[in-house]
């Protein structure tokens, strides 16, 4: 049993069993999901909680902060943290951490796989064979990655990893983000619409949140053209899903490969019914190797913090100043 001075940590939404196990060895761990009455549970333990361990996509806001008056740090499992009110955390002196870098390669790999699967209709060809239809004739010809112009929305860690992989396919690469980056060879467009007009393939790698909500809209999709392809491995909220359905149905674009959706795990039936979509259940970082690395980084952030060394990977909104 942890000694009396051991910090109390609240685990919100189980990530991996080894995460909970590692935390329980060091801290007094409380598991919100095991509480039959969450409100009563928070009333009982909330005043003692000094750290949060948060599963991906768990909403963390001012109302929860109010119930945790001693909270010092929120350690999130994932690179995206748009469900955490980091600005409010900063106002209250609470540090927020995430797990960047350790998942960039895995997500970038999946982005390329999803792009190829969408262009070459790999899942559709698999179903064609399994249904015995090959006996009746060859699978129809598909579009190609050859001579494509690829735009990346968001050239952060994951966006750069995607771009590096695309270089091996000898395609034209361009990008749009908040600011141009001097250390990359790719063409920069100062608007998303301008990028869409210059390319025929758009890979979404931008963070979620109010600033990017629905920015891939009908105008952007139309600008890609009838051979346009959209791949999203970022957040479902970045794409206007109704506009995407309309563009696919009308033939305004050619296809879409999506690993994320606006209201997960609910996926619009219209997207499921369309034959020119490849849909995945948010598995971008979903390998044993990468999820284990994410779990280690989450716990490392909490260990480092309570060892007095500060956070390992704080988010930009809550920069670490070296003072507690």
Q: Is 189 a catalytic residue?
A: no
Q: Model confidence over 272-293: pLDDT tens digits? A: 999 999 999 999 999 999 999 9
* Tens-place pLDDT, residues 49-81: 999 999 877 899 999 999 999 999 999 999 989
Percent of the chain with pLDDT over 70: 98
pLDDT band at 192 (very low <50, low <70, confident <90, very high): very high
Residue 322 in this model has a pLDDT that exceeds 80: no
pLDDT-derived band at 1, boundaries 50, 70, 90: very low
- Which of 31, 90, 282, 296 is catalytic? The answer is 282
Max Cα distance, the chain (Å): 73
> Looking at residue 323, what is its pLDDT?
59
Tell me how far apart the alpha carbons of residues 40 and 43 are, in angstroms, rounded to a whole number: 5
Average of per-residue pLDDT values in the chain:
95
Please report the pLDDT score of residue 324 as a whole number.
57
Cα Rg of the chain, angstroms:
22
Catalytic one of 160, 189, 235, 291: 235
Residue 198 reports pLDDT greater than 90: yes
Report d(CA 94, CA 71) in Å as an integer.
Answer: 7
131-174: per-residue pLDDT in tens? 999 999 999 999 999 999 999 999 999 999 999 999 999 999 99
What mean pLDDT is predicted for residues 249-270?
Answer: 97
Q: Among 54-58, 71-75, 261-265, 319-323, name the one with the lowest average pLDDT.
A: 319-323
Is 282 an annotated catalytic residue?
yes
Give the C-alpha separation, 167 to 114, whole Å.
Answer: 16
Identified catalytic residue from 133, 178, 264, 324: 264
Alpha carbon distance 12, 69 (integer Å): 17
pLDDT in tens, 81-103: 999 999 999 999 999 999 999 99
What is the pLDDT at residue 2? 47
How many Cβ atoms sit within 10 Å of the Cβ of residue 71? 22
227 a catalytic residue? no
pTM: 0.91
């Amino acid at each position: 049993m942890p000694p009396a001075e051991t910090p109390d940590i609240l685990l919100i939404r189980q990530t991996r069993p080894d995460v909970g196990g590692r935390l329980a060895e060091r801290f007094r761990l409380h598991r919100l999901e095991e509480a039959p009455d969450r409100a009563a549970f928070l009333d009982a333990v909330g005043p003692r909680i000094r750290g949060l361990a948060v599963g991906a996509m768990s909403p963390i806001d001012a109302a929860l902060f109010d119930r945790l008056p001693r909270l010092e740090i929120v350690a999130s499992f994932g690179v995206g943290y748009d469900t955490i009110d980091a600005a409010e955390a900063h106002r209250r002196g609470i540090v927020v951490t995430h797990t960047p870098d350790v998942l960039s390669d895995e997500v970038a790999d999946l982005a390329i796989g999803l792009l190829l699967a969408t262009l070459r209709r790999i899942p559709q060809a698999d179903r064609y064979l399994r249904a015995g239809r090959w006996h009746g004739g060859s699978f129809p010809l598909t579009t190609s990655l050859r001579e494509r112009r690829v735009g990346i929305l968001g050239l952060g860690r994951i966006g750069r990893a995607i771009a590096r992989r695309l270089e091996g396919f000898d395609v034209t690469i361009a990008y749009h983000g908040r600011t141009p980056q001097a250390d990359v060879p790719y063409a920069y467009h100062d608007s998303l619409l301008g990028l869409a007009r210059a390319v025929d393939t758009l890979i979404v790698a931008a963070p979620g949140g109010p600033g990017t909500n629905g920015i891939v809209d009908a105008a952007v999709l139309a600008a890609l053209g009838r051979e346009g392809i959209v791949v999203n491995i970022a957040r479902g909220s970045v794409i206007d899903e109704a506009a995407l359905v309309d563009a696919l149905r009308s033939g305004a674009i050619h296809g879409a490969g999506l690993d994320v959706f606006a209201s997960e795990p609910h996926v619009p039936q219209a997207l499921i019914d369309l034959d020119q979509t490849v849909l995945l259940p948010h598995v971008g970082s979903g390998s044993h190797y990468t999820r284990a690395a994410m779990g280690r980084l989450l716990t490392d952030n909490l260990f480092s913090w309570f060892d007095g060394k500060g956070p390992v990977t704080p988010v930009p909104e809550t920069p670490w100043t070296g003072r507690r």
